[in-house]
Amino acid sequence: MSEHLVNELRETLAAARSQFEYLRDLGVESLGTCPPAENKVSQGPAHAAAQESLDDIHLDLGDCQRCGLAESRTRLVYGVGNPNARLVLVGEAPGREEDLRGEPFVGEAGRLLDRILAAMGMQRKDVYICNVLKCRPPNNRDPLPEEVATCEAFLVRQIAAIRPQVVVGLGRFAVHSLLKTRIPISQLRGEWQNYHGIPLMPTYHPAYLLRNPEGKRDVWEDMKSVLRLMNAEVEG
């Protein structure tokens, strides 16, 4: 057996193990409760050519100094993943580890997000992951309204370039920023919203789930809704 095949098998087994562990955490005993895991990342009209690419936007962002967060950041965290993703996940802002590595959702919360994706039959390379803010607020304080107002235009352009079928807002701050609302996340989660014409599912942030594991079942319900919508669009 070739080394390439062995590596692929290893990755598949690791993904299956991660999916099983997340579902076991939730108390889900049968994988039959999951909707079919689709992994078709570049189909449908939502992927017609965008006017500007993610690289164009990244270039425009450059070594951004447009708001005060530039002074305290180590690295700007633009976003990672598939430029043709059907699913975009948006968090709040980089934390300490993300700031150091220049990548969103690393560390423990990122590993939990990976497990949630694996339970959905996906990997990071299938989706796109980014934040409302590209730079870390000092001491993880809440971003200021003017910082959001300045940075958000880049997020809007990123999502317009990707044109996903679904956006998932991760956590209170991201959802409030995206939807311009102050309705508690506990009331918003699980209900489809509209973000610039794209269905948006609000759900809890993985960091919240680390502190409140009982919220994992709600997140799984939200992700099942996401999969149902994505699968319906593929089939329809």
Among 70, 149, 156, 232, binds ligand SF4 (CB under 6 A): 70
Taking the least distance from each CB to ligand SF4, the nearer of 68 and 83 is 68
In the complex, the smallest distance separating the C-beta of residue 147 from ligand SF4, rounded to whole angstroms, is 6
Taking residues 162 to 181 in sequence order and writing x for each that binds ligand SF4 by CB under 6 A, - otherwise, the string is --------------------
With a CB cutoff of 8 Å and minimum separation 6, the contacts of 186 are none
Taking the least distance from each CB to ligand SF4, the nearer of 90 and 209 is 90
Among 54, 88, 112, 133, binds ligand SF4 (CB under 6 A): 133
The SS3 call for residue 189 is coil
Beta bridge partners of 193: 200
Taking the least distance from each CB to ligand SF4, the nearer of 73 and 189 is 73
Q: Output the six-digit token pair for 44.
A: 């449908």
Helices (H) and strands (E) in the chain, counts: 10, 6
Strand order in the sheet with 198-203: 80-81, 128-131, 87-91, 166-170, 198-203, 193-195
81 conformational bin, left if phi > 0, alpha if psi -120 to 50, beta if neither: left
In the complex, the smallest distance separating the C-beta of residue 105 from ligand SF4, rounded to whole angstroms, is 17
| CA nearest to 90, candidates 206, 221, 229, 217 | 206
Does 144 engage in binding with ligand SF4 (CB under 6 A)? no
Does 66 engage in binding with ligand SF4 (CB under 6 A)? yes
Does 67 engage in binding with ligand SF4 (CB under 6 A)? yes
Interface contacts to ligand SF4, rule CB under 6 A: 61, 64, 66-67, 69-70, 76, 133-135, 147, 150-151
